[in-house]
Structure 1
Amino acid sequence: MQIFKFLLTSIILLGCQAAPEVLFGQKSLLFDQGFEGFENVAIESEKEIFELHDEAKTFAKLAVKGLLKPEEKIKALVQHVFARSDLNLLYRADANTVASQTFQNRAANCLSMSIMTFALAKELGFDVRFQDIEIPEYWTIREGQSLLNRHINLQIIPRQKNQIYFHFITRGFEVDFDAQATRQHFPKTLLKLKQVVAMFHNNNGADALLKRNYVKAYAYFRAAILQSPDLSSALANLGYLYRLTGHYTFSENAYLQAIKKSKNNLSAWGNLAHLYRYLGDDQKAMDIVNRVSRKRSSNPFFHINMGDKAFEKEQWQVALEHYQRALKLDKSYHEVYFGLGKTYFELGNVQRSHHYLKLAKKKSRTEQEQAVYQGKIDMLASIKSG
């Protein structure tokens, strides 16, 4: 599931080298005069993001009604959210909504679901913490753009009468809306609330940018950076916005600052390389590209993304090679099986396409994904029988 988004150029160039020593303050990062009217964009406050209406508060209280032990209450709340019998949440990549809207709309992306669950748990008096999950680079395509996805989850912890210490492993619960990320045991880092607020603003900025609403995008990226100046993804997204709007010096500054904050932000390096190539500095661009190819070649999602791009260009054999490489690297993701299934269909091998679509359904993580794959499987079955 998507979490907070990081826009990439449509041509993904790869880059990783020692970060240049750069010292940029917020004044050299922000270019307010280039986005007239940005101050009129309504940016949600931290309070508005996490605030719950009475209906949601009642839902939380009813979920734990009659339970006494804190651990039982946490488990019951989480089960009610996941069961969806009362809430029936639907996953939508572009549903970047505050907690109360997420509850009312019954549609959310992973970040918004985590924010809502955080607010519900806090309403019941639990301590809750966000964790950044360091998953491998993972791209999806929306509206012709590649987006790099990140992931967070929650720790819900009973409050202790004696606050000196607690044993988290036996007393706390981890809530993750993507079981795949949890199973892989990726490294985790605790997040401050202001960082999560910044991620929320970054998501909304990315959605506005996809819709070519550059003033709104700037307002949100600006808010994200002011909330959390170290959020590398927001800095890189701002750099991309500047490139699209022709503010190339500001674009380079934002990319370099993103890299300074996170030297392993390969996508920021890639976008910087694309900027240099766009400006005619091919040598700088090539130096970045050559240094990172090895680093990304071992990431299955890099090959899935490259396969998707080749598929869009109807380069079926190139797409097949990338999907096959991704499968050799990791056999646990439904995206690679879907890639193989759709490519074999285009190559005229309906039997193999059917085989891989069945595997994609088996590996998928949500009922919605399974339903989509079943529809494709049924379509292929009708072709075979016809």
Structure 2
Amino acid sequence: MQKIRIISLLIMIAGLAGCALQPSVTASLPPQEFSKEHLLSGAVILGHPVTDVDLPNIDILGVNSEMRSFLASVDGGSDSDHFDALVKSLQSKNFSIFYDADATLDASEVFEEQRGNCMAFRAFMVAMARGLGLEIKFNQVFIPETRYFEGQHTFVYQHINVIADLGSEQRVLDFNFVDYNPVYRQKTLEDVDAFARFYSNLAMDFLSQRNIAQAFLYLRKALSLSPDTADLWNNLGAIYRSAGHADQAIDAYGVSLALDSNNMIALSNLEGALRNRGDFALADILFKRIQRYREQNPYYWYGIALAAYKQEHFELAVEGAKDAISLERGDHRFHFLLGMARLKVGDNGYRNSFRQALTLSAANEDQKRYRRKLDTLGLGDIKPVLPAGRVRRSESIRPWTWWWYL
């Protein structure tokens, strides 16, 4: 799981499903004032058009001599044995990666510093597994959208893990199963697309530090690798907007929507940029479209409920969680959050909410996490109710837990 931070609005989210904008909305967007070439040149930010020489070039999956020496000690016969031996060897040698949200490091840096964020961890494991000759790829899991709001920051979560093809079976390597579920749609990513996300993460880190020039160069590198990814154009719009170039930002959001008319984050960013520019009529049209989507999106209300809970507005958290459940009853996270909020406000319905969460999470690792939490609350007696034949399991993909210290 990955938390992408940006000032005010942002970004970097897997494409959303279940929402289609009417043609009249996209057709009414303002005409492009600037060409793609102009937007990609960065001349108004850097003072000169960017060239390939200006762009960063990181050996993301590079393996150094110490890593090769480590891999030489990993014994195994089959690919499956090699994979098992790699994970167990790292664990047995007390090689622990400490989570650092701001450390988007390449594989060799992760090995040397034993820290990194989610993207860094994935790059490290891909590099190590490939160093043993194993077939392993980055894997995107299309989880429902969940936003977290903190002050002027918006957090949007997406999920990418790594998946190893070991002949007779596949293994998912992941350190956090909060949002991993084999029933979610998945798609393996080509390296170039994963690398684009890597550079985009770095761009967003620079943007949060107000280093606009570096943010642009790293995002420009991402777009050179994956030029038709709507989320990257959305990020480019945020960079232009932060730099005070509203017109370029609006055009970048327009490119994002031309590539993916369902990208509600880009639409929300565009609505805000248009409103700030004084284009109130069009901004109002887009705002109504966004509100209609949000009202029908259970994960929007879930995000609202989470934010309310964190800010200790527990009554609002109860209402938000109930709104989410009214639209989607099958997500265990909604029920567990409702149970926690109900417990805080003294609503006796918390036991039923926890029971529902345990029942719905029976097919994955979340139930264990919920049980541990309930044990700490002195509620270990709450048990799931499992209707016969209702639990879906996937035996073809075996997930690995990971040793990840917060």
CA contact (8 A) 1:135 1:186 kept: yes
* Residue matched to 2:268: 270
Using the alignment, how far apart are the partners of 1:7 and 1:45 within structure 2? 23
Q: TM-score, normalised by structure 2?
A: 0.72
The amino acid across from 2:43 in the alignment is D
Instruction: Report the AA paired with residue 9 of structure 1.
Output: S
Give the match for residue 124 of structure 2: 116
Structure 2's unaligned 5+ residue stretches are: 12-18, 379-406
In the alignment, which residue of structure 2 is the partner of 1:164? none
Indicate whether 1:137 and 2:145 are aligned.
yes
Structure whose residues are more often helix by fraction: 1
Distance 1:104 1:249, change over 3 A: same
Cα offset, 1:255, TM superposition: 0.5
Residue 57 of structure 2 is matched in structure 1 by: 45
1:291 corresponding residue in structure 2: 289
Residues 1:25 and 2:36 aligned together: yes
Using the TM superposition, give the Cα deviation of residue 156 of structure 1 relative to its aligned residue in structure 2, in angstroms: 2.1
- Separation of aligned partners in 1, 2:140 and 2:240: 27
Tell me how far apart the structure 1 counterparts of residues 297 and 92 of structure 2 sit (CA, whole Å).
Answer: 33
Name the SS for the 1:238 alignment partner.
helix
Distance in structure 1 (CA, Å) of the matches to 2:335 and 2:221: 36
Check whether the contact 1:274–1:285 (CA below 8 A) recurs between aligned residues: yes
**What amino acid does structure 1 have at the position aligned with 2:123?**
I
CA contact (8 A) 2:207 2:239 kept: yes
TM value normalised by structure 1: 0.75
1:293-321 C-alpha deviation (Å, 9 max, x unpaired): 34344544311322345567776543431
1:176-215 aligned at under 5 Å gives the runs 176-215=174-213
CA-CA distance at 1:137 after TM superposition: 1.3
- In 1, distance between residues paired with 2:354 and 2:153? 25
Matched, 1:77 2:74: no
Deviation of 1:200 after TM superposition, in Å, equals 0.5
The offset of 1:247, in angstroms, is 0.6
Q: Secondary structure at the match of 1:96?
A: coil
- What amino acid is aligned across from residue 243 of structure 1 in structure 2? R
Q: Select the residue among 270, 279, 283 that pairs with 2:277.
A: 279
| Partner Cα separation in structure 1 for residue 64 and residue 10 of structure 2 | 43
Letter in 2 for 1:56: M
Alignment coverage as a number of residue pairs: 357
Q: What is the rounded CA distance, in whole Å, between the counterparts of 2:311 and 2:174 in structure 1? A: 35
2:94 to 86, 108, 112: 86
Measure, in 1, the Cα distance between the counterparts of 2:335 and 2:103.
25
Partner of 2:258: 260
Aligned to 1:127: 135
Q: Which residue of 2 aligns with 1:9?
A: 8
Shift of 1:375: 12
Task: Give yes or no for contact 2:203–2:218 (8 Å, CA) kept in 1.
Answer: yes
Superposition pairs of residues 96-175 of structure 1, within 5 angstroms: 96-141=104-149, 144-158=152-166, 170-175=168-173
TM-aligned CA deviation for residue 116 of structure 1:
0.6
- State the shift of 1:221 in Å: 1.4
Could you list the per-position Cα deviations for residues 161-183 of structure 1 after superposition, in whole angstroms to 9, with x for gaps in the alignment?
A: xxxxxxx6x24433334434442
Q: Distance in 2 between matches of 1:105 and 1:144?
A: 32
| 1:303–1:100 Cα change, 3 Å | same
In structure 1, stretches of 5+ residues that fail to align are 159-167, 379-386
1:115-137 CA-to-partner distances (Å, cap 9, x unmatched) read 11110011111222222222211
Residue aligned with 1:77, SS: helix
CA distance in 2, matches of 1:84, 1:331: 39
Distance 1:220 1:247 in 2: 18
Shift of 1:358: 12
Cα RMSD between the aligned structures?
Answer: 4.2
The reply to whether residue 62 of structure 1 matches residue 60 of structure 2 is no
1:26 to partner: Cα distance = 3.0
- Identity %, equivalent residues: 22
- 1:302 aligned residue: 300
SS at match of 1:147: strand
**Residue type matched to 2:77 in 1?**
L
Q: Deviations over 1:211-248 (max 9, x none)?
A: 22222222221221122112222211111121222211
Find the aligned partners of 2:250 and 2:92 in 1 and give their Cα distance.
Answer: 45
Query: In 1, Cα distance between the equivalents of 2:352 and 2:113?
Result: 36
> Alignment partner of 1:135: what SS?
coil
The 1-side partners of 2:262 and 2:92 are apart by: 37
Q: 2: distance between equivalents of 1:69 and 1:312? A: 47
Choose 309-318 or 245-254, whichever is displaced more. 309-318
In structure 2, relative to structure 1, the CA distance for the partners of 1:97 and 1:342 (3 Å cut) is farther
Contact 2:142 2:186 survives alignment (8 Å): yes
Distance of aligned partners of 1:339 and 1:116 in 2 relative to their CA distance in 1, 3 Å threshold: farther
Post-superposition offset of 1:254: 0.8
Change (3 A) 1:342 1:181: closer
Q: Against the structure 1 CA distance between its residues 33 and 196, is the aligned structure 2 distance closer, same or farther, given a 3 Å change threshold?
A: same
Offset from partner CA, 1:38-91 (integer Å, 9 cap, x none): 99x9965252x111223333333334x1x211221123324555x586322233
- Alpha-carbon separation, structure 1, partners of 2:231 and 2:119: 15
Q: Secondary structure at the match of 1:183?
A: coil
For the pair 1:324 / 2:322, whether they are aligned, the reply is yes
Specify the code of the residue in structure 1 equivalent to 2:137.
Answer: R
Q: Deviations over 1:328-358 (max 9, x none)?
A: 535656587458646864x5x4999999999
